[in-house]
Structure 1
Amino acid sequence: MRIDLSDQSVDALAEIISGGSAGGYEPSIGLYRQGWRLKAWFKGVGVPFEIDGASRLSATKTAIHGAIFLDTGNGELLKRIIESAADPRDFIKEPERHATVVEYLNKHLIYDGLKLATAGRTIRLVEIAETAQVTDELLAMAAGIDFDTVSRDLDRALRAAASDPELAVTSACAVVESVCRSILVELERDFPAKQDISSLYRAVRDPLGLDPMKEGLTPDIVNDVKAVLSGLVTSVQSIGSLRTHVGGAHGKEKGFRRIDARIAKLAIHSASAIALFIIETWQHRHPGRVLPLRNEPKKHDQ
């Protein structure tokens, strides 16, 4: 991920990390950190920090600019700094402040084509161009039901879309597979012998009642809904086939690339739509019943 932070974003980030000027007229949005705490904080993210007579806020800005210089171009160092600045673990006693910090940073980061998004219990920096409404909704839903596995897979796919589209396809496929496995675990159904995306989807189709005849639809739209569900099957099969042919899990020589970011994003958004539909169908069929976080099959009593 390429990160080009504007001066305004650097200022906002420095205010959050340092807690602002000690003599400021208004309370800081961020957490106040003394000089020695700032030094320890920056050491934790791998960035040199020295005050040398400067104010804490000024020294923090200097450290961030230093990180921009040190970053190798893949954005990992700056990404780590921004995500650490909004780490929810630092705001356990003040969750409202954490929400304010994320909102404040996002108001600046949006002009750099970036935003902080919730992924399960963590915060991830993503490129706005790589997200869409359906992926945002799935991330929000996965966080709402504490579905860490889906959040991690989707986050991995979004981050890899531009730099490693083959890996992104593999992660997109894993999103649907994770949802299907969790449903089978909760229903205490056996996993299919072949645990690929198509087999797992077929395994949950009947238990979820994905049949337009069971939806109480009027006769004039039954065939239309049936066609949409048939298209869903085709999408599932196509994502699985694409993963087989280009997915990062199958190995590739250095520099290998058969698809570009457009196709990777198409797979991500398609997988997100499928996963979202499956989760919403589960919630419709089993209101109040929570899907498990883990995908391993339950051990039945002997």
Structure 2
Amino acid sequence: MRVELSEQSIDALAEIISGGAANGYEPSIGLYRQGWKLEAWFKGFGVPFDVKSESRLPATTTAIRAAIFIDTGNGGLLKRIIESSADPRDFIREPERHSAVVEYLNKHLFYDGLKLEWAGRIMRLVEIAETAPVTGELSAMAAGIDFDTASRDLDRALRAGADDPEIAVTAACAVVESVCRSILVELAIDFPAKQDISSLYRAVRDPLGLDPMKEGLAPEIVNDVKAVLSGLMTAVQSIGALRTHVGGAHGKEKGFRRIDARIAKLAIHSASAIALFIIETWQIRHPGRKLPLRDKPKRS
């Protein structure tokens, strides 16, 4: 992955790593590190740090530029530096500060086509995938309602779309599953015995009132809306079947033929449209009520 940082991102990264100027007017978002700690921190990456000729913050900026000069390959060095600047282990006593650091960096990294996201217990720097209108709208909505599970699944699907279509299909399926699971959790409804995409979608249909006969629609379009909703169920079942047959969650036999990236993108866009419809319906049925975050426990 190639990492090219703008001047603004370099400045933001330097502030996070150093903790800002010692005599700054406002408290820094980052962790304050003394000169000797900064020297040891950069030494771990093989990057020179000289606090004798300039103060901590400018010296940190210089060290980052040195890392850019050293890192003439695939961006691995810069990637590790950025990830380490937001290492959650450094913020065990201040988790709120860690969230602020990630948000601050991501606001700058966005313009470089990059973002920090959770990968298990650690942070990973990833590329922001280009999105079609429907996936972009879903991504924006998921971020706006603090629904980070769907955001991660969607990002994973988009990044894998061209290079690993099987993984993309699995992630696309997970987008819809995440939305349905979160609605069931928030409404305190038990999960269905079989927790595949079709069963989860069926479980949220009645609570969300996805029945055209209940919408007070004009008689001449009731059948049309009913047909669209029937098609939605067909799409849900088809995405689940595609995941079962070619998804990246299962091993593949010798001679397995990979699917066309176009099919993976079709699954991504279809799943995005379904998830967007479910979330919009949720917002109409329960205005102002947020879907649960990633760390909220699930019902069994």
**TM-score scaled by length of structure 1:** 0.70
Q: 1:287 to 1:177 in 2, by over 3 A?
A: same
Counterpart CA distance in 2 for 1:225 and 1:208 is 15
Q: Which amino acid aligns with 1:51?
A: F
Matched-pair contact (CA < 8 Å) for 2:13–2:105: no
Cα displacement (A) at 1:167: 1.5
Counterpart CA distance in 1 for 2:70 and 2:266 is 34
Equivalent positions of 1:116-195 (< 5 A) are: 125-130=126-131, 132-141=135-144, 143=146, 147-185=147-185, 186-189=187-190, 191-192=192-193, 194-195=194-195
Equivalent positions of 1:55-134 (< 5 A) are: 55=54, 56=56, 57-63=58-64, 65-66=66-67, 69=70, 73=74, 78-82=78-82, 85=85, 92=96, 102-103=106-107, 105-106=108-109, 109-110=110-111, 112-115=112-115, 125-130=126-131, 132-134=135-137
Aligned to 1:226: 226
Work out the percentage of aligned pairs sharing the same amino acid. 63
- Gapped runs of 5+ residues in structure 1? 298-302
Q: Which amino acid aligns with 1:177?
A: E
Q: 1:230 to 1:102 in 2, by over 3 A?
A: same
SS of the counterpart of 2:138?
A: helix
Q: Which amino acid aligns with 2:299?
A: E
Equivalent positions of 1:250-289 (< 5 A) are: 250-252=250-252, 258-259=258-259, 262-287=262-287
After TM superposition, the structure 1 stretch with the greater mean CA deviation from structure 2, 124-133 or 195-204, is 124-133
Cα displacement (A) at 1:170: 0.9
Q: Which amino acid aligns with 2:96?
A: I
Counterpart CA distance in 2 for 1:94 and 1:190 is 33
Q: Deviations over 1:189-243 (max 9, x none)?
A: 4514x32212221232233221111111122332332233223223212221221
SS of the counterpart of 1:206?
A: helix
Aligned to 1:300: none
Counterpart CA distance in 2 for 1:54 and 1:164 is 48
After TM superposition, the structure 1 stretch with the greater mean CA deviation from structure 2, 243-252 or 76-85, is 76-85
Matched-pair contact (CA < 8 Å) for 1:83–1:125: no
Matched-pair contact (CA < 8 Å) for 1:134–1:269: no
Aligned to 2:217: 217
Q: 1:169 to 1:190 in 2, by over 3 A?
A: closer
SS of the counterpart of 1:250?
A: coil
- Gapped runs of 5+ residues in structure 2? none
SS of the counterpart of 1:269?
A: helix
Q: 1:257 to 1:11 in 2, by over 3 A?
A: farther
Aligned to 1:17: 17
Counterpart CA distance in 2 for 1:254 and 1:233 is 33
SS of the counterpart of 1:284?
A: helix
Matched-pair contact (CA < 8 Å) for 1:86–1:123: no
Q: Which amino acid aligns with 2:232?
A: L
Aligned to 1:239: 239
Matched-pair contact (CA < 8 Å) for 2:138–2:275: no
Q: Count how many residue pairs are aligned between Structure 1 and Structure 2.
A: 284
